[in-house]
Chains A and B, each alone.
Chain A
Amino acid sequence: MGAYLVRRFLLMVLTLFGMSVLIFVMLRLVPGNITDIIFDSAGFVNPAKKAAIERQLGLDQPIVTQYITWMAGLARGDLGYAFVSEKPALDEILPRIPVTAKLAVLALAFSVLFGVPLGVISAVRQNTGLDYVLRVVSLSGLSLPSFWLGLLILMACVHWFGWIPIYRSSPDNFWQEIALLSIPAAAVGFRSSALVMRLTRSSMLEVLRQDYIRTARAKGASEPSVNYDHALRNAVLPVVTVIGIEAAFLVGGLIVTETVFNIPGVARFLVEAIRWRDYPIVQNLVMFIAIIVVMVNFIVDMAYAALDPRIKYEE
């Protein structure tokens, strides 16, 4: 177990290091930086002033030096200064995390609470009318763009309540905040729940074909016991791994949904920073997302090992 953990940890560090190089190079590969955007909108270019700004932002340094400066800063917990606001990047990013985190947790809860039971029902009632309905619903969940679903929800609120559930930065209490967030969370979670449901269904169908299910029937076990006791325990194992994929999947939904609902979270902030080529914000946020994804995958693997008696990470 110990050796496995060490190996696994080293691989995670390697992946994140690779990610940092990749994102750093990608952002600087193509000509054009924030100064070009500033001077583009100003309509004329003053070369001396442009060079001064570039020097001030450190953009005149060789790319390797810039990278080392970034990494050295990261090690000290210093993420540099945002180009646009000129505030420390950390101060820009940190306050935006809680609202996105709440949104993500709500969406994940939504997707698991709906996805797993509906997937099981769909598999158990395979090829019945109910199964067809659930399959069409889950497929449409995968087919609707989440930003459009968000817009539709807004439209429905306007139409029926004459009111738009726009997020306020200072909600009165925790529950009000959750209530406000649950609408965008449903918009994000609908798509993820569709994914969970489809995977639960196919995993369940796979398990129901196994010999040990026939053994359970041969013992005289009832259909509910066969489905929920014998099959579901095996079927949830692959579904757990999906939660890792899910985490990455959610981020995409969060980005567009925060934009639609005007929620001041990190996901929307990333898009704004990308538009402005605000390197310190983009590279640090991308690293943050990569760390989350890698960590979630690690936790999922550990959970899998804990749930499946056959897997023990020993060598």
Chain B
Amino acid sequence: MLEVHNLQTYFYTRAGLVKAVDGVSFSLWSGETLAIVGESGCGKSVTALSLMRLLADPPGRIVGGAVRLDGRDLLGLNAAAMRQVRGKDVSMVFQEPMTSLNPVMTIGRQIGEALMLHGAGSREGVRDRTLEMLRLVGIPEPAQRVREYPHQLSGGMRQRAMIAIALACNPKVLIADEPTSALDVTIQAQILELMANLQRKLGTAMILITHDLGVVAETADRVIVMYAGRKVEEAAVDELFARPLHPYTRGLMRSIPRFAVMRNGVAPAGRLQEIPGMVPALSALPTGCAFAPRCAFASDICRRDYPRYEEKRAGHWSACWHSDRLVGAADG
């Protein structure tokens, strides 16, 4: 349904050319949840904003590729047509519920606005639908809340309001950019559960952007792992967790306590492992594999040539010269 082909988004800065998203392709089927995972600065948020064409230019610009929604290329649309897509066909939930709602408008108006923009009809219709949305996202006393301002709600309630705004027009695709990272752990679980429920109920496809593999395991169907602006691995969620074919993915899993436990079924045998080194500056990427400097498996070829992104097993893609060694090493 949504097809992203060879998307390239570059930033032009004083520090040089930053290839924040460099040739990313993927597709999203209706009703599916696709997670995009990676450390901060790997290009996952930029990918999301590029889909919505919400990047500030300058410095950022989409320099190549295509984003096709039901066959229509969003990158080729004019501004007015793109506005019709935003909020109606594709909508977005942002990371910071504190700052993402307009402080001087009531919650009701902010939800109602999305409805009005996409032709919801009469004022009564808008009001009823607003109340319905508030009930749907589990905000108590909706009749009271519509008249309140964002600062009167808690962080979790604000994120629910954000979700209400995003889902008000029954979009085909919901992009959630780190929707729970700014929230308390207990509230994170509630919000994730809410999103999963609503998605099932409304049949919305979702792109979930996160750095948290725990969130991925609970909600996603398929996973894309990004590193330094490129895809390094892609697989169904079970397959990925069972057999990571990229050392970076493996590193991510080993650095998180829950997975260290899960994989062995008992307490982790060894210590938690962190990935050595740091994410390279995107303006000064090494030739060859971008992960090679931090990789335990790196060999000469890794430092010389960028590995091809290829299907290593059915439905499981990866860009690594040493995926075969990884399968063996995973159990050792």
Q: Could you list which residues of chain A lie within 8 angstroms of chain B, going by C-beta atoms?
A: 210-212, 214-223, 225, 230, 233-234, 237, 307-310
A220 touches B114 (CB 8 A): yes
A219 touches B100 (CB 8 A): no
B91 interface residue (CB < 8 Å to A): yes
A214 touches B117 (CB 8 A): no
Interface centre among A216, A221, A222, A233 (most CB of B within 10 A): A216
A310 touches B151 (CB 8 A): yes
A-contacting 9-mer, from B81-89, B124-132, B264-272: B81-89
Determine how close the nearest CB of chain B comes to the CB of A40; give it in whole angstroms. Answer: 61
B117 touches A215 (CB 8 A): no
**CB-CB under 8 A for A211 and B96, given A216-B102, A309-B103:** yes
Whose C-beta in chain B lies nearest to the C-beta of A212?
B102
Determine how close the nearest CB of chain A comes to the CB of B260; give it in whole angstroms. Answer: 35
Given contact pairs A215-B100, A217-B54, a sample of 14 additional A-B residue pairs in the complex whose CB atoms are under 8 Å apart? A210-B99, A212-B99, A214-B54, A215-B162, A219-B91, A219-B113, A220-B86, A220-B88, A220-B114, A220-B118, A230-B102, A230-B105, A233-B102, A309-B149
The docked-state distance in angstroms from the alpha carbon of A68 to that of B162 is 63
Q: Could you list which residues of chain B lie within 8 angstroms of chain A, going by C-beta atoms?
A: 52, 54, 79-80, 83-88, 91-92, 94, 96, 99-105, 113-114, 117-118, 149, 151, 162, 165-166
The docked-state distance in angstroms from the alpha carbon of A230 to that of B100 is 12
Q: Which residues in A have their C-beta under 8 angstroms from that of B96?
A: 211
The docked-state distance in angstroms from the alpha carbon of A79 to that of B173 is 75
Leading 8 A-B pairs by shortest Cβ distance: A220-B87, A220-B86, A219-B87, A211-B99, A212-B102, A309-B149, A211-B100, A219-B114
The docked-state distance in angstroms from the alpha carbon of A222 to that of B83 is 7
A219 touches B94 (CB 8 A): no
Q: Which residues in B have their C-beta under 8 angstroms from that of A212?
A: 99-103
Determine how close the nearest CB of chain B comes to the CB of A213; give it in whole angstroms. Answer: 8
B103 touches A211 (CB 8 A): no
A-B contacts, 17 listed (Cβ < 8 Å): A211-B96, A212-B100, A212-B101, A215-B100, A217-B54, A217-B86, A218-B86, A218-B87, A218-B94, A219-B113, A220-B117, A221-B117, A225-B117, A233-B102, A233-B105, A308-B103, A308-B104
